[in-house]
Amino acid sequence: MRKKATSLIIFLSFTSFLFSQTDTSNVHIPWNWDKLSITGSYKNGRLMPTNVFVRGSNTNSVVLDDYQQFSLQLTSQSTGDHLWEQLCNYPRWGVAISANDFFDKAEIGIPIGVYGFISSPFFRINRFSLNYDLGFGLSFNWKSFNPTTNQYNVAIGAGQAFMSNAALQLEYALTNRIDIMGGLGFSHFSNGAIKLPNFGFNVVAPKVSVKYNFYERPKFIKHEIPKFNANNEWVFSAFAGMKNIIYDSLNVTLSEHYKGVFFPVYGISALFNRRISYASKIGMGMTLNYNESVNAQVAIDNREIEDIDGPLGDKIQLSIYPSYEICADKVSLVLQPAFYILRKASKNQSPVFHQRIMIKYHISDNVFAGITLRDFDIHADFVEWTVGYRISK
C-alpha cells in the first residue's frame, strides 16, 4: 500500500504539471497545432559526487561519473497570439520522453523519463538565438534501493522519481525547417524524499540537438505593449506533505525496517509580492509549519513500526525567505532561498538555510495550486502540495 501511495503521489504531481500547460478556455490556446516540431537530443556528461553510492560505495567499488541521455521532444511554437507570448519572447513548450543511462544497469537500470518543458530565448540575432530550457516530470524503471538485493543504491528509494532539467542552449537556423542546438544542462533526479533513502542524482552535461519544424518559419505577431504599472499583492497559502523516516536500531524485519514511518507535514504561508515587470515578481514571505517527524518516537507492535505522538511545541517551525517569481501566462516558477528562524533542536537536523522551489498554476485570477520542493544541500527534504489565494491591488 505504501508503494502504491508513493507511485500515486508522484504521478499526480506530474499530471498536475502537464495540466498546468493546458487551458480549455476560449481565450488561451496552449497548443499551436500548425506550428509543431520534433527534436532529437543527446547529452553526455558527469554525475556530481553528492552521495556515497556515486563516490564508490557500490557493488564494483568504482566512482560513478558517466551519464548519457537520449530524448525526443514534441514542441509547439508560440507566435504572439497573446500578449504574454510576445512579452516572454515567443517561447515554445511541449512534452518529451528520455532514456537515461548511468552506466550501472545492474544497480540503477535505464530509467525512462516523461516530462513537460518550456524553452524561451534571451535574445534572437538573425539566425541565432540564446535559449533557456526548463523541464519537470516523472521517471520510471529505476532499480531502486532494496535492503537485500540492491543495498548500495541509496540515491533512489522508489521505483519512480521526479526529474527536473535546466539548460542554456545556442540555437542556429540551419535551413528553413531544420535547427541545430548546443549547450549545457543540469538534471536532478529524486523522489522528493517521499521514500527513503533518497540522496538523488545530479548531472551536469553538454547537450546537442537537431530540430525539424513541420512548418515554414513563422512571422511573429507584435502587439502594442501597454504601459507597465508596478503593483503589489498578498499571497496566502496552505500545504500538506509527508516525510519518510527510517530508524536504525529497531527490532523488526529488514523489509519492515526500510519501510520506515511516514509522518505528516502541514503549514501555512504568507507572502508579500511586488510585480516589477510583466514577467517577474519579487517579494518577502514566511511559512509556519507543523512537522510531526521532528523528535518523533516509535514503538514496535506485532513487529510493525508505529509512531508515537510527541510534544506539539517540538514540531512547530517558522522560516522566512525572499522570493522571486517568473511568470508565463498562468504558470509560474517560484524560487525562495529560506532560513529557519524558529524551531526545536533535533537529531539529524537539516541546515538552517534551505531552498523552496515551486511550480504554480493559476486556476483563476486569484486561486492557484502548486507543488513545492523543500530542499537542502541538493537533497530533498519533503514535497509541499499547495493551494492558495492572492489579493492584488
Length of the chain: 393
| Segment among 29-33, 172-176, 343-347 with least mean pLDDT | 29-33
Cα dist from 190 to 235, 380, 382, whole Å: 29, 7, 11
- Residue pair 54/67 in contact (Cβ under 8 Å)? The answer is no
In a shared domain, residues 270 and 160: no
Inform me whether the pLDDT recorded for 26 exceeds 70.
no
In a shared domain, residues 28 and 104: yes
Residues 6+ apart with CB under 8 A from 151: 145
For residue 223, being part of any structural domain is answered with no
CATH number at residue 379: 2.40.160.20
Select the more confidently predicted residue: 126 or 310: 126
- Alpha carbon distance 370, 197 (integer Å): 25
Compute the mean pLDDT over every residue in the chain, rounded to the nearest whole number. Answer: 87
In a shared domain, residues 34 and 60: yes
Burial class (CB in 10 A: 0-12, 13-18, 19+), 111: buried
- Alpha carbon distance 264, 243 (integer Å): 6
In a shared domain, residues 156 and 246: no
Summarize the confidence of residues 169-181 as an average pLDDT.
Answer: 96
Q: Residue 269 belongs to what domain range?
A: 231-392
| 350 DSSP 8-state letter | P
Candidates 340, 308, 373; CA nearest to 10 is 373
Inform me whether the pLDDT recorded for 274 exceeds 80.
yes
In a shared domain, residues 202 and 283: no
Select the more confidently predicted residue: 24 or 316: 316
Residue 207 confidence (pLDDT): 96
For residue 297, being part of any structural domain is answered with yes
**215-258 pLDDT per residue, tens:** 988 889 999 989 988 999 999 999 999 888 776 655 666 666 66
Candidates 140, 144, 141, 139; CA nearest to 115 is 139
Pairing between strand 92-101 and 161-173?
A: unpaired
In a shared domain, residues 235 and 209: no
**31-67 pLDDT per residue, tens:** 677 899 999 999 999 999 999 999 999 999 999 999 9
Residue 368 confidence (pLDDT): 97
In a shared domain, residues 147 and 260: no
**81-133 pLDDT per residue, tens:** 989 899 889 999 999 999 999 999 999 999 999 999 999 999 999 999 999 99
- Residue pair 51/154 in contact (Cβ under 8 Å)? The answer is yes
- Alpha carbon distance 180, 128 (integer Å): 10
Vertex 118: Cα angle to 94 and 232 (nearest 5): 135
| Segment among 174-178, 204-208, 325-329 with least mean pLDDT | 325-329
For residue 331, being part of any structural domain is answered with yes
Select the more confidently predicted residue: 190 or 9: 190
Start-end of H helices in 43-101: 52-55, 83-87
In a shared domain, residues 205 and 238: no
Inform me whether the pLDDT recorded for 6 exceeds 60.
no
The pLDDT confidence band at residue 261, using thresholds 50, 70 and 90, is confident
